[in-house]
């Protein structure tokens, strides 16, 4: 029974994190654009779940973040789900490099994930449709967005880390009680 309660609580907390980031990304962040870029909170959530928890958790977080975006902003359902699922999976491969609250590795992984996201968007939305202006896209969209996402992750990552640590401590406490 305790394990079921823990799973339900984790599911609820994860859903709330996705919902909150979705609301911020679609509501508040467009007003905070720098030029034409804004931070990608879904990349932060997906990357963090991958390298902090596991490849499977990264894939699940990525899939549900992508589905949430697909529901509200995609013309092709499953487009973002696939992209974020891949990002979560790749981040999960680096789980063994994760060391608690050290910010260097998470910041690098989140920025690299945002660059990968930008590359996948460029290939699928621009390159395959004849736009060969990769250098322009890289310098004006991909790199600035990765930097902006990295800066925002300095604020958001410690919060996500504390939430995951709280859930893990709660699980261990419940197991020790019986």
How do residues 116-152 score in pLDDT, each as one tens digit?
999 999 999 888 888 889 999 999 999 999 999 999 9
The pTM is what?
0.92
Per residue in 61-115, pLDDT tens? 999 999 999 998 878 899 999 999 999 999 999 998 887 778 889 999 999 999 9
Find, among 44, 61, 50, 169, the residue nearest to 107 by Cα.
44
Quote the pLDDT of residue 178: 60
Angle CA 46–97–54, to nearest 5: 40
| Sequence-separated (6 or more) residues with CB below 8 Å from residue 17 | 45, 160, 163
Tell whether the model's pLDDT for residue 1 goes beyond 80.
no
Quote the pLDDT of residue 127: 86
Taking the C-alpha atoms of residue 47 and residue 39, their distance in angstroms, rounded to an integer, is 14
**Residue 70, SS3?**
helix
Is domain 2-177 classified as CATH 1.10.1760? yes
Question: pLDDT-based confidence at 158, cuts 50/70/90?
Answer: very high
Domain segments of the chain: what residues?
Answer: 2-177
Long-range contacts from 65-74, C-beta under 8 angstroms, 24+ separation: 65/18, 65/21, 65/22, 66/42, 68/18, 68/19, 68/22, 68/42, 69/22, 69/42, 72/22, 72/26, 73/26
């Amino acid at each position: 029974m305790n394990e079921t309660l823990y799973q339900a609580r984790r599911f609820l907390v994860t859903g709330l994190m996705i919902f909150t980031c979705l609301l911020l990304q679609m509501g508040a962040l467009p007003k905070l654009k720098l030029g034409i870029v804004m931070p990608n909170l879904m990349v932060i959530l997906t990357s963090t779940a991958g390298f902090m928890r596991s490849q499977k958790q990264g894939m699940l977080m990525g899939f549900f973040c992508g589905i949430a975006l697909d529901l509200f902003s995609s013309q092709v359902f499953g487009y973002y789900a696939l992209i974020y699922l891949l990002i979560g999976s790749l981040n999960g491969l680096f789980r063994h490099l994760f060391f608690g609250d050290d910010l260097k590795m998470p910041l690098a992984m989140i920025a690299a994930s945002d660059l990968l996201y930008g590359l996948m968007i460029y290939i699928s939305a621009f390159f395959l449709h004849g736009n060969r202006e990769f250098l322009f896209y890289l310098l004006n969209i991909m790199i600035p967005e990765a930097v902006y996402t990295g800066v925002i992750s300095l604020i958001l990552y410690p919060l996500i880390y504390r939430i995951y640590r709280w859930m893990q401590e709660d699980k261990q406490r419940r197991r020790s009680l019986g």
